[in-house]
């Protein structure tokens, strides 16, 4: 999934405290801000697209599921699609099951996000679905949920130390990176030197796995990673870091951006570097024109709508005490100029 565009995963982190401003820039990807409640309010069943009719399910206990994001559904197009998928799944819930979507406003404010989750626990849900803002950022509060008998489903990026985690729903991030890596190998550039644009290592396991998958794929095809630009999701910082990387390594023939927002900043830095092939992740409508005109080589599509839908469907199974695997992967595919029109039209 990406944070971001939170990658389904990936989520990513905006320059701490600049999320609100950056969200307006990224909002082309997601304009469904109304899909979630604010951190201080509770979504009604109607607002969240839930089903509340009929008798309680036979398994007993609370059938309330709460989907928790530290960022608004309108953060970008990817997250908007994820929220839309969750709402669609909510319309088909079994009798007695309910879904609420609760969102924060600042992906970097873990205190606020943990408070949001704590407030949600006061509603006595049967399960919470949480997109963690870091490997252990929500672990203490989620373990409190465990102590209350609440089932925990992790979304997008892995969390550490959650003692009652039922499953992780998200994409195979290593494969997401590898997909565009293999595409690059099949579409060789003049120079086999590669640059990578990513977040600080260790900040998000999902992002690290994307980089690892890409690196392994291109190195197996004869490419060499010669530089890494460390940035956040802001356009200015990413553009600056990529520009500096290209100045230091003028022979780079291709660049991999580890998520969509960083891809936008990289694209700006490459406007006067037409010979460099750019590949990234988290396909959305803003990628269509660059793919068609050749300024972008390929993008991995994380199928964010399916991610949101699958998260809810999987959590229903968890509440029904059905067996689910430790990891539930969402679909992945590669989009380039050969299929972008078809993909874009199918997602409208």
Quote the mean pLDDT of the chain: 85
pLDDT for res 254? 98
Both structure tokens of 57: 């399910």
Tokens of 307: 């991610």
Kindly write down the DSSP assignment for every residue of 266-282, as one continuous string. Answer: HHHHTTT-TTSEEEEES
Tell me the pLDDT tens digit for each residue of 290-347: 999 999 999 999 999 999 999 999 999 999 999 999 999 999 999 999 999 999 998 7
Instruction: Calculate mean pLDDT across residues 131-147.
Output: 94
DSSP conformational letter for 334: E
Tell me which residue has tokens 């380039």.
Answer: 336
> With a threshold of 0.85, does the pTM exceed it?
no
Give the pLDDT confidence score for residue 133 in this predicted structure. 85
Backbone angles phi, psi at 309, to 5 degrees: -65, -45
Per-residue tokens: 78: 């990817």
Structure tokens that stand for 36 in this block: 């979630």
Section 73-77 average pLDDT: 89
Phi-psi bin for 271: left (phi > 0), alpha (psi -120 to 50), beta? alpha
What mean pLDDT comes out for the span 16-44?
A: 34
Percentage of the chain modeled with pLDDT above 90: 73
Check for a shared fold between 19-171+304-331 and 173-302+336-346. Answer: yes
Is the CB of residue 315 less than 8 Å from the CB of residue 292? Answer: no
Name the architecture of domain 19-171+304-331: 3-Layer(aba) Sandwich (3.40)
> Is the model's pLDDT at 24 over the cut of 80?
no
Q: Cα–Cα distance between 261 and 247 in angstroms, integer?
A: 22
Calculate mean pLDDT across residues 238-251: 97
pLDDT at 58 over 70: no
CATH architecture of 173-302+336-346: 3-Layer(aba) Sandwich (3.40)
**Arithmetic mean of pLDDT, 231-238:** 93
Q: How confident is the model at residue 60 (pLDDT cuts 50, 70, 90)?
A: low
The whole-angstrom separation of Cα 232 and Cα 22 is 11
pLDDT band at 138 (very low <50, low <70, confident <90, very high): very high
Residue 145 has pLDDT above 70, yes or no: yes
The domain segmentation of the chain, as residue ranges, is 19-171+304-331, 173-302+336-346
Q: Residue 2: pLDDT band by 50, 70, 90 thresholds?
A: very low
- pLDDT classification of 187: cutoffs 50, 70, 90: very high
Give the C-alpha separation, 114 to 135, whole Å. 14
Give CA separation, 131 vs 7, 70, 159, 237, 255, in Å.
Answer: 10, 8, 9, 25, 28
Q: Identify whether the C-beta of residue 297 lies closer than 8 Å to the C-beta of residue 335.
A: no
Rg for the chain, CA atoms, rounded: 20
- What is the mean predicted confidence (pLDDT) over 209-214? 97
Say whether pLDDT at 152 is over 90: yes
Q: How far apart are the first and last CA of the chain?
A: 19
User: Given this model, what pLDDT does residue 18 score?
Assistant: 38
**How far, CA to CA in Å, does 90 sit from each of 4, 117, 151, 248, 311?**
23, 20, 18, 51, 11
d(CA 158, CA 173): 11
75 versus 42: the higher-pLDDT residue is 75
Residues in the chain: 348
């Amino acid at each position: 999934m990406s944070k971001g565009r939170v990658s389904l995963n990936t989520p990513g982190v905006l320059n701490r405290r600049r999320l609100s401003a950056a969200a307006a820039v990224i909002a082309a990807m997601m304009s469904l801000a109304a899909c979630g409640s604010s951190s201080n309010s509770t979504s009604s069943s109607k607002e969240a697209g839930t089903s509340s009719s009929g008798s309680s399910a036979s398994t007993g206990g609370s059938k309330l599921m709460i989907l928790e994001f530290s960022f608004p559904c309108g953060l970008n197009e990817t997250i908007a699609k994820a929220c839309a998928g969750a709402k669609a799944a909510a319309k088909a819930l079994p009798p007695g099951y309910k879904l609420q979507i609760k969102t924060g406003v600042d992906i970097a404010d873990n205190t606020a996000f943990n408070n949001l989750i704590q407030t949600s626990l006061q509603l006595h849900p049967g399960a919470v679905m949480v997109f963690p803002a870091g490997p252990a950022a929500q672990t203490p509060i989620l373990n409190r949920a465990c102590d209350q008998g609440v089932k925990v489903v992790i979304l997008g990026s892995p969390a550490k130390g959650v003692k009652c985690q039922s499953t992780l729903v998200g994409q195979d991030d290593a494969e997401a990176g590898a997909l565009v890596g293999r595409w690059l190998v099949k579409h060789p550039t003049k120079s086999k030197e590669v640059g990578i644009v990513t977040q600080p290592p260790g900040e998000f396991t999902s992002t690290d796995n994307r980089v690892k998958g890409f690196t392994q794929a291109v190195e197996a095809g004869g490419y060499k990673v010669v530089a890494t630009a460390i940035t956040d999701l802001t356009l200015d910082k990413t553009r600056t870091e990529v520009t500096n990387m290209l100045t230091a390594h003028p022979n780079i023939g291709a660049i991999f951006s580890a998520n969509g927002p960083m891809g936008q900043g990289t694209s700006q830095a490459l406007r006067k570097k037409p010979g460099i092939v750019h590949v990234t992740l988290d396909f959305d409508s803003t990628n269509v024109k660059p793919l068609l005109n050749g300024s972008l080589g390929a993008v991995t599509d994380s199928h964010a709508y399916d991610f949101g839908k699958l998260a809810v469907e999987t959590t229903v199974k968890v509440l029904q005490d059905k067996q689910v695997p430790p990891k539930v992967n969402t679909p992945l595919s590669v989009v380039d100029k050969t299929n972008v029109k078809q993909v874009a039209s199918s997602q409208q």
